[in-house]
Amino acid sequence: MKRRTTLLLSSAVTIAALFSFNSKVQAAADPTIKATNYNMTVKLNTRKNQLTEKVTMHVVNNGNEPVKNLLVRNIASGVLKYDHKHFKATRNATTSVKSISSDGQKLSYTTGKDKSNLFVNKNLNAGESTDLTVNVVTGVPKRQDRFGYQNINGGKVYNLSFCFPYLSDYRNGKWNYHPYYDAGENRNSAVSNFHVSFFAPKSYKVAASGQSTTKNGKTTITANNMREVAIAASNKFKVDHAYANGVRINDYYLASKNSKQYNKLALMTAQDSFHIFTKKIGKYPYKEIDITEGLLGKDTGGMEYPGLIMIDASGFLQKKHPLDRYNELTEDVSHEVGHQWFYGTVGSDEYMEPWLDEGLTNLLENGVYDLAYTKSKAYCAKLMHSKFYTRKNVKRANKILKENANQFINKNQKASYINYPVNNPPKGVDTEDMAYELGMDFPAVLKVAMGETKFFDALHDYYQTYYLKQATTQDFLNIIRKYDNSKKVNNVINKFIDPKYLSE
């Protein structure tokens, strides 16, 4: 998710201020029990604002011990529980599990206090596998969000995520799950293969994770080696395309007075981001990515999924909009594209270690994309009638950041720990500041302490080592120390990382 914060290149003062500043996390591994394949049939009823879902997951026990139950997460229950409490307009939306079966046999299940958790009474011995089918009917809430629908331009936009049942992670002998967290994410998923048949009215254009084709209201989606699938659909979408590093970029946008500039700038920013992040970190694993325009609520700029990013465009749908919306667009798109590397490709436990995806992605947005002179930023400056964005000022920003980082290191300034769970940040520190801002400061200071070459060599190694796997803070530190285990670097690590929250 992209939380809107002050931009790095907006002024020298902002740049100079950059550095003012259940405990154990399980070690990285594929889950012992995992769903290797999902076959999904999803029908969207736009009159009732309702999803009818049939999800069949192929579950394999790769461990040495049997399990007595399988944990399916109907995360829509947690989402709607939150929505009902905070938004009156969402109260008609509910989710109901109609049946769960395995190989044709109906199974019972229990939920406990958290109705998102479906503990299915199904024994699975070591080395065995089964096909588990879950039938759910879920209402789509009327909300500006990553799961919800909005009335826009005389039509509708549906953002469909956090609404599809999935198998929870089974690690170290137990099911690993977290409660829904609206201000961030609670995902913790291994990659799988998704085959989806999505039905919507013929007038709707459909964007989705993976690759898709639509014919007569049926969209066939193939999303292999992905952590999840997200879908956006609208009867008002227009679509344009661009390419970067062999990746097809599809921009689904809404017609407005400002849509021409929005579409051009969004595509240019995505192209520049792909060029820079591929060079610095490594190759993107998929053939295409979809960008979708919609409304995501106050202070939320975007939301990430493998192969699909949602971008808030509330300002562009108005007849008049502040010029800084263009700058926000470049920040939002570069950030969510960055998540394709950290979260999409290198996974992590976003609830227990939110800095590991948000902090590293914020670094890509603010400390890599922003600090390179790009065509998209130059076009943005033109739209804003600004002469501030020049190669000279970009160099100046790099210099100031380096000076501030060295001052932080040499003066032994204090920092707050960042490797805490979302529900338990350090005293006096906001969860979002911990994950986004301090989470970015840590690798930004490491970059200076190590030198750019060693730092990006290490980040590339980290990316390749945990490519389509899941990593922890400890895994990240092991790679960093492989390239630089100096006293200086360890002093930086000790300022930001609390050892009691590291995996064993």
Mean predicted confidence (pLDDT) in 478-482? 98
Dihedral pair phi/psi, residue 271, rounded to 5°: -60, -50
Delimit the domains of the chain by residue range: 2-26+362-501, 32-189
Averaged pLDDT of the chain: 92
The per-residue pLDDT for 2 is: 65
Residues of the binding site: 335, 339, 358
Task: Indicate whether 315 pLDDT > 90.
Answer: no
The per-residue pLDDT for 17 is: 34
The per-residue pLDDT for 1 is: 77
Give the span between the Cα atoms of 300 and 2, in whole angstroms: 6
Provide the CATH topology of domain 32-189: Immunoglobulin-like (2.60.40)
pTM of the model: 0.94
Mean predicted confidence (pLDDT) in 395-416? 91
Give the span between the Cα atoms of 395 and 405, in whole angstroms: 15
The per-residue pLDDT for 29 is: 67
Residues of the binding site for Zn(2+): 335, 339, 358
Mean predicted confidence (pLDDT) in 142-150? 96
Mean predicted confidence (pLDDT) in 405-419? 90
Cβ–Cβ < 8 Å for 206, 219: yes
**For 3-42, what is each residue's pLDDT tens digit?**
655 433 333 333 333 333 334 454 456 789 999 999 999 9
**What whole-number percentage of the chain has pLDDT above 70?**
94
Burial class (CB in 10 A: 0-12, 13-18, 19+), 399: exposed
Q: Tell me whether residue 452 is one of the annotated catalytic residues.
A: no
Q: Tell me whether residue 262 is one of the annotated catalytic residues.
A: no
**For 263-304, what is each residue's pLDDT tens digit?**
999 999 999 999 999 999 999 999 999 999 999 987 889 999
**For 89-113, what is each residue's pLDDT tens digit?**
999 999 999 999 998 899 999 998 8
Mean predicted confidence (pLDDT) in 115-131? 96
DSSP 342: B
**What whole-number percentage of the chain has pLDDT above 90?**
83
**For 233-255, what is each residue's pLDDT tens digit?**
999 999 999 999 999 999 999 98
Catalytic residue among 181, 305, 420, 436: 436
Give the span between the Cα atoms of 321 and 326, in whole angstroms: 9
Query: Which of residues 153 and 50 earns the better pLDDT score?
Result: 50
**For 281-292, what is each residue's pLDDT tens digit?**
999 999 999 999
Give the span between the Cα atoms of 110 and 121, in whole angstroms: 8
Task: Indicate whether 504 pLDDT > 80.
Answer: no
Mean predicted confidence (pLDDT) in 316-332? 85
Catalytic residue among 293, 336, 353, 437: 336
Cβ–Cβ < 8 Å for 198, 231: yes
Q: Is 186 helix (H, G, I), strand (E, B) or coil?
A: coil
Give the span between the Cα atoms of 277 and 290, in whole angstroms: 17
